[in-house]
């Protein structure tokens, strides 16, 4: 009984995250896996998708995580974002995680969660921002690429960088093979950045994010 109460209190203390996704949801799954294996001490309060067919939805269902579909089509960006904010606030979300969320957010949303939104991007920013980070890196001819987790500000993919992980670009790489190699690193980087945030170890100083000792 005491142990149950301890566990309940521990869950109540955990940082509540809300995940926004548009597709397959493998990064969302990486977060779920780290929470379930006990290495990421957060509560996944809610998943929001803007695409009814997003694979992320099945993952949420399988793991008993509340989810909401909010359609962005046929309405203004602000109207869409106001509804997302209402859902996140209703679930008392403290950190918003963009895990393959393919919509640009306006200042309305970003100001509401100032310094409380992080995004995973499949390239080493500030190179190759936008929707085709892996393809753009390959076509440019770089020999190293990777992924970036960063705080979201009103620029596109330009907020302060929390973590980057690199992979080599191989001679026979295609967009798909490079994307696969980068994705493996995304699955490490995103939960790690969330953990650092949850532990209160990230300090934004201008463009730099200082990682404090644990």
Q: Which is nearer to ligand GAR, 16 or 122 (CB)?
A: 122
Q: How far is the CB of 47 from ligand GAR (least distance, A)?
A: 11
Q: Which is nearer to ligand GAR, 54 or 93 (CB)?
A: 54
Q: Which is nearer to ligand GAR, 86 or 104 (CB)?
A: 104
Q: How far is the CB of 209 from ligand GAR (least distance, A)?
A: 18
Q: How far is the CB of 62 from ligand GAR (least distance, A)?
A: 15
- Please identify the residue of the shown chain whose CB is closest to the bound ligand GAR: 100
What are the residues facing 119 on neighbouring strands?
98, 150
Residue 72 is a catalytic residue: no
Q: Point out the catalytic residue in the list 121, 132, 150, 187.
A: 121
Q: Which is nearer to ligand GAR, 58 or 131 (CB)?
A: 131
Q: In what order do the strands lie in the sheet with 15-21?
A: 67-69, 42-49, 15-21, 95-98, 117-121, 144-151, 161-168, 208-211, 202-205
Complete DSSP assignment for 75-126? S-HHHHHHHHHHHHHHTT-SEEEESS--SPPPHHHHHHTTT-EEEEESS-TT
Per CB under 6 A, residues contacting ligand GAR are: 21, 23-27, 99-100, 120-122, 131, 133, 183, 186
Q: How far is the CB of 60 from ligand GAR (least distance, A)?
A: 13
134-141 — which CB contacts under 8 Å span 24+ positions? 134/175, 134/178, 134/179, 134/182, 135/175, 137/169, 137/178, 138/169, 138/173, 138/174, 138/175, 138/178
d(CA 11, CA 72): 32
Catalytic residues: 121
């Amino acid at each position: 009984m005491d142990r149950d109460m301890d566990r309940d209190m521990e869950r109540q203390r955990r940082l509540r995250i809300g995940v926004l996704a548009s597709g397959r949801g493998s990064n969302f799954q990486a977060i779920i896996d780290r929470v379930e294996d006990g290495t990421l001490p957060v509560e996944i309060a809610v998943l929001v998708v803007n695409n009814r067919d997003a694979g992320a939805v099945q993952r949420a269902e399988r793991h008993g995580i509340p989810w909401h579909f909010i359609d962005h089509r046929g309405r203004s960006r602000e109207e869409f974002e106001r509804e997302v904010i209402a859902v996140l606030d209703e679930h008392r979300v403290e950190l918003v995680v963009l895990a393959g969320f393919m919509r640009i957010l306006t200042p309305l949303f970003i100001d509401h969660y100032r310094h409380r939104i992080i995004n995973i991007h499949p390239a080493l920013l500030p190179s190759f921002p936008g929707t085709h980070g892996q393809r753009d890196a390959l076509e440019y001819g770089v020999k190293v690429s990777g992924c970036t987790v960063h705080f979201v500000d009103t620029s596109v993919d330009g907020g302060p960088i929390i973590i980057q992980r690199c992979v080599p670009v191989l001679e026979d790489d295609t967009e798909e093979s490079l994307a696969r190699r980068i994705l493996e690193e995304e699955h490490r980087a995103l939960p790690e950045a969330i953990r650092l945030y949850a532990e209160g170890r990230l300090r934004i100083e201008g463009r730099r994010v200082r990682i404090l000792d644990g």
